[in-house]
């Protein structure tokens, strides 16, 4: 190795420091050699670092590929099920599109037509079997037009029987009313109603029942007691089987309840048939309301007459106070009906008033129920008129 550079000083002559050429060359060579070595070492370090980085990148890529393969293997069945569902939805959409756009292939059309024909034939067979069973058993359909006419006639007879039965409560042994002829008429109508009821189709939970055994069981369970009791009571009244007026009045009041139940049963059938035929409306509802108000006043008048006639043992009653004891039953009924309507509309006018405790007690109950019925009737009339006006306005707007 070269010796380090030496600075030679001349002590004899003070000329300052001098550098020898050899020492400067050696220093230059040394500096160059050290920088070269340093550059080489840095270059080697850079190469080693780049190799390490590339190797780490390769390892990371390898790990990523392996993890991706494993996850893709796990997701393969999930993708398969999703693709299957998508294909199924697409096929369903395609079939619906083909079906509703009338471009379905002939094979599918033929299959559908065969299925529809089979279902229609099956329905026809069932209908034919039902009609045969009806014809064999003589079962009447509820939509029969003759049955509808009979029910209208029957409800008119029931209204007449209700009117007569209320008069029986007031005048149990009157000679001015032929209870015998009316009783025979009502008994005959009850027997006809029984025959029709056991030969008529019924609806149970939305299903048509046309087997005679089921119809008989349903009739005996629900309606037989009303018809039998009605026939028995009318027989006792028309044939004068009971002589005491109090018992006749009790049975007549019971018959009033039975007649109401039968009216509701027939009324429901008539209303259903009318609405099916398109005849139901506000006019029919208004007619029903007027009939209800009239019969309420009629029954109140007959009960007011019963209380007045049965209180003869009292010192005074409303009949004696108005000098109606020797008048006909129609005059007495007219005064009683006047009292009932005035009590219902204006809570009494004051010309006919109760004269004993029995009449006062009955008048209190009558005023309570009369006010309720009057309020209900006014409200119902208002609702009907409002509905009628709404229909009229809608019709006028549609015409504009």
Chain-centre distance for alpha carbon 243 = 52
- Rg over CA atoms, the chain: 55
Mean pLDDT of the chain: 76
Phi-psi region of 350 (alpha: psi -120 to 50; beta: other; left: phi over 0): left
Which segments of the chain have a pLDDT < 70? 1-82, 84-85, 92-113, 116, 118, 122, 125-137, 280, 347-349, 400
Which pLDDT value is given to residue 150? 92
Which pLDDT value is given to residue 1? 42
Give backbone dihedrals phi and psi of 209, rounded to 5 degrees, phi first. Answer: -110, 120
CA distance 194 to 223: 9
* CATH architecture assigned to 281-400: Orthogonal Bundle (1.10)
For residue 285, count CB atoms less than 10 angstroms from its CB and return exposed for 0-12, middle for 13-18, buried for 19 or more. middle
- Token pair of 160 as six digits: 């007449």
* Cβ neighbour number for residue 161 with a 10 Å cutoff: 24
CA distance 134 to 130: 6
CA distance 107 to 143: 42
Which pLDDT value is given to residue 271? 87
Give 163's contacts (C-beta < 8 A, 6+ positions apart). 295, 298
CA-closest candidate to residue 243, choices 182, 172, 184, 180: 172
Give exposure, 113-130, as e/b (b: 16+ Cβ within 10 Å). Answer: eeeeeeeeeeeeeeeeee
Give backbone dihedrals phi and psi of 8, rounded to 5 degrees, phi first. Answer: -100, 125
Which pLDDT value is given to residue 393? 81
CA-closest candidate to residue 371, choices 379, 360, 382: 379
Which pLDDT value is given to residue 16? 46
- 208 forms beta bridges with 203
- Token pair of 109 as six digits: 């059309």
- 209 forms beta bridges with 202
Which pLDDT value is given to residue 215? 86
């Amino acid at each position: 190795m070269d010796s380090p550079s030496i600075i030679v000083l001349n002590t004899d002559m003070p000329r300052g420091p001098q550098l020898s050429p050899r020492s400067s060359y050696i220093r230059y060579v040394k500096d160059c050699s050290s920088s070269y070595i340093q550059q080489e070492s840095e270059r080697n370090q850079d190469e080693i670092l780049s190799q390490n980085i590339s190797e780490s990148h390769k390892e990371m890529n390898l790990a990523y590929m392996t993890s991706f393969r494993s996850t893709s293997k796990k997701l393969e069945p999930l993708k398969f099920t999703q693709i299957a569902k998508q294909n199924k939805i697409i096929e369903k959409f395609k079939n619906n599109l083909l079906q509703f756009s009338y471009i379905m292939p002939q094979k599918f059309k033929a299959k559908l037509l065969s299925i529809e024909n089979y279902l229609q034939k099956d329905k026809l067979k069932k209908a034919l079997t039902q009609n045969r069973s009806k014809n064999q058993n003589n079962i009447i359909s509820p939509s029969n037009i003759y049955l509808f006419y009979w029910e209208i006639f029957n409800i008119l007879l029931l209204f007449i029987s209700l009117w007569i039965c209320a008069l029986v409560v007031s005048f149990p042994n009157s000679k001015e009313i032929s209870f015998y002829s009316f009783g025979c008429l009502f008994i005959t109508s009850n027997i006809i109603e029984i025959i029709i009821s056991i030969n008529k189709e019924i609806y149970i939970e939305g299903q048509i029942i046309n087997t005679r055994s089921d119809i008989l069981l349903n009739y005996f369970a629900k309606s037989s007691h009303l018809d039998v009791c009605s026939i028995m009571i009318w027989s006792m009244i028309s044939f004068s089987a009971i002589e005491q007026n109090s018992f006749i009045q009790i049975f007549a009041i019971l018959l009033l309840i039975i007649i109401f139940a039968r009216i509701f049963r027939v009324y429901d059938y008539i209303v259903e048939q009318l609405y099916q035929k398109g005849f139901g409306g506000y006019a029919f509802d208004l007619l029903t309301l007027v009939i209800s108000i009239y019969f309420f006043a009629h029954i109140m008048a007959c009960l007011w007459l019963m209380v007045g006639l049965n209180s003869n043992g009292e010192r005074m009653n409303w009949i004696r106070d108005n000098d109606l004891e020797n008048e006909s039953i129609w005059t007495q009924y007219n005064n009683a009906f006047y009292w009932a309507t005035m009590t219902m509309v204006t809570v009494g006018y004051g010309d006919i008033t109760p004269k004993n405790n029995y009449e006062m007690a009955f008048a209190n109950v009558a005023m309570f129920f009369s006010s309720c019925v009057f309020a209900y009737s006014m409200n119902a009339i208002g609702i009907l008129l409002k509905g009628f006006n709404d229909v009229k306005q809608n019709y006028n707007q549609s015409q504009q």
